[in-house]
Amino acid sequence: MSVQGNYDVAIVGGGPAGLAVGSELSKKLKVLVIDKGEPPATIKAWFIPKDLVEKNPDVEPYTFGGVTRFMAQTYSGAKARWKTELFDRYPYVKPEILGYWKNIIEKNGSKIVSRCFYEDHLAANGKVVLKTSKGTAEARLLIDASGWNSPILAKYEITHNSYYWWSVFGAVAKHPGGIKKPMEVGDYMLWQTFEDTNLDKNASLRSGRPVFEYEIYDENTSLSLVLWLTREMVDVDFMKEVYLRVIREEKDTEPFHDLEITDKDWRYGWYPSGGLTMRVARDNVAFIGDAGSWCTPCGWGMGFILDNYKGYAKNLIQNINENKLDRSSLENLVSLPVYDQYQTVLNQLASHFLANGTAAQLDKFVKLFNQDSSVHVDPIICEKMFTLKITESDLKTCINAVLKTFELKELIEILPREDYLLLLKLGELSIEEALWDKTYRLLHQGKGPKRPLGDGYSF
Ligand SMILES: Cc1cc2nc3c(=O)[nH]c(=O)nc-3n(C[C@H](O)[C@H](O)[C@H](O)COP(=O)(O)OP(=O)(O)OC[C@H]3O[C@@H](n4cnc5c(N)ncnc54)[C@H](O)[C@@H]3O)c2cc1C
């Protein structure tokens, strides 16, 4: 099928972002979606906060089961385990939701062209000419939904606003004799580490420590993954090698030793982390989904899309009707509710902490969530942090616990200098008076004087 024709909107990428936004736009506009693959096709599985399903009944039929228990276990002995508190479960979204959006687009008379590669585009005189491997199309607006490795971002030399990349490799696969105790359906192992993955036993994630994660879908099936949180993306062949060694040989992954993996079971990808969502657009060109850094700083990309696609499409239709498709109008369109909220800042701080903390420091962090720990943080705060639902009082508890648990010197090592400003933003509302000196000295790289009374925060 050729792409030839005139459209209101041309979308490059038929993944979750392109199809979700495309389905809404197609209700009012003539839309073209191209994808180099065969949509609906996905290599990914998603679990999302339950309130996103409650807010959007369209999503409900495409969900099943969900995460009901969170766990963490480090090789050096720190453990945390709790039943989900914020919601009774975090549902899984089935890949079939892509087919649902695809049908809406086609029923509304818009077009999806598969196995069609983006080649180039020219945005000029209020329209865009899009060149693809299946012909040339014209549109008033081009939407880039081609994911983290977008050729359109590359053309504009726009780089992701991220500090780190999550590199992920694993499989959705069967356990031949069923899942084994102590694992239960609904388990989510957030964080498991091993002693022998790094020569330096204290290595941080940023310096290459892999983390093992798994989710138990049902009595026979799990998704297991190895993740890296590093400045550079990790090579896929190397990830596969480490994953196979971890699931086949580590003594603490015994329930996975006989996992049956076929070629269609592999799951892998990369997504940016640790930066705030960027507002980016060019005249007549918008960026959404992973291409637009539409994710929480910890990489909850599908959740972010489900939370925002309807609102985004509604505003975009208005802009198209009013012919406001210049760069600044399109940038302002992305007034997603999470902007400017301090929870994204806290989420970002947490990402840095996870990336840079040594094994021993991460143990101290995990132990904060244990009931018997002297400084205790309710694990619900962890859930709230990753779903951007932190309240001001949660924030206080969290910052104060970290300041009580870690030495000044440690914090200077863990947090990048850019984060001191973030801490300052949070500090004003969060930090107990007794801990203020520590924060003040941290902001001065540990060298500053004790905070003089009545001092401002200039540095
Ligand atoms: C292993 C893994 C697990 C994840 N788990 C979760 C989770 O549990 N919860 C959650 O909320 N998020 C999760 N995420 C993140 C989430 O999957 C992504 O944020 C989401 O898929 C982004 O959707 P997208 O449409 O922007 O990009 P993509 O899904 O990457 O889709 C981009 C589409 O563009 C097409 N394309 C690319 N280049 C071209 C080109 N040159 N020409 C034509 N087409 C092109 C691709 O074929 C693809 O179909 C996970 C990610 C990974 C990798």
Domain boundaries, position 260: 61-92+164-273
Distance of CA 223 to CAs 44, 135, 206, 265, 379, Å? 10, 39, 24, 9, 23
Residue nearest to ligand 1 atom 1, measured at CA = 268
16 Cα to the center of ligand 1, angstroms: 7
- Residue 268 sits in the same domain as residue 124: no
- Residue 109 sits in the same domain as residue 206: no
Q: Dihedrals φ, ψ of 284, to 5°?
A: 65, 15
Task: Return d(Cα 225, Cα 253) in angstroms, integer.
Answer: 12
Task: Return d(Cα 436, Cα 400) in angstroms, integer.
Answer: 10
256 Cα to the center of ligand 1, angstroms: 26
339 Cα to the center of ligand 1, angstroms: 22
| 451 within domain boundaries | no
Matching residue, tokens 């440690």 = 410
- Residue 101 sits in the same domain as residue 66: no
- Residue 232 sits in the same domain as residue 255: yes
- Residue 83 sits in the same domain as residue 109: no
Do 401 and 348 touch, CB atoms closer than 8 A?
A: no
| 53 within domain boundaries | no
The verdict on the CB of residue 287 being under 6 Å from ligand 1 is: no
In angstroms, how far is CA 8 from the centroid of its own chain? 30
Q: Digits of tens for pLDDT over the chain (459 positions)?
A: 899 999 999 999 999 999 999 999 999 999 999 999 864 445 456 889 999 999 999 999 999 999 999 999 999 999 999 999 999 999 999 989 999 999 999 999 999 999 999 999 999 999 999 999 999 999 999 999 999 889 999 999 987 766 788 899 999 999 999 998 889 999 999 999 999 999 999 999 999 999 999 999 999 999 999 999 998 899 999 999 999 999 999 999 999 999 999 998 999 888 777 655 567 899 999 999 988 878 665 567 888 899 889 999 999 999 999 999 999 999 887 655 544 456 666 777 777 888 889 999 999 988 888 877 888 889 998 888 777 777 777 877 887 888 888 887 888 778 777 667 666 666 565 556 656 666 666 666 655 555 444 433 332
- Residue 248 sits in the same domain as residue 290: no
Do 42 and 98 touch, CB atoms closer than 8 A?
A: yes
103 Cα to the center of ligand 1, angstroms: 19
- Residue 207 sits in the same domain as residue 83: yes
- Residue 349 sits in the same domain as residue 310: no
Per the structure, the count of domains in the chain is 3
- Residue 394 sits in the same domain as residue 425: yes
| 390 within domain boundaries | yes
| 378 within domain boundaries | yes
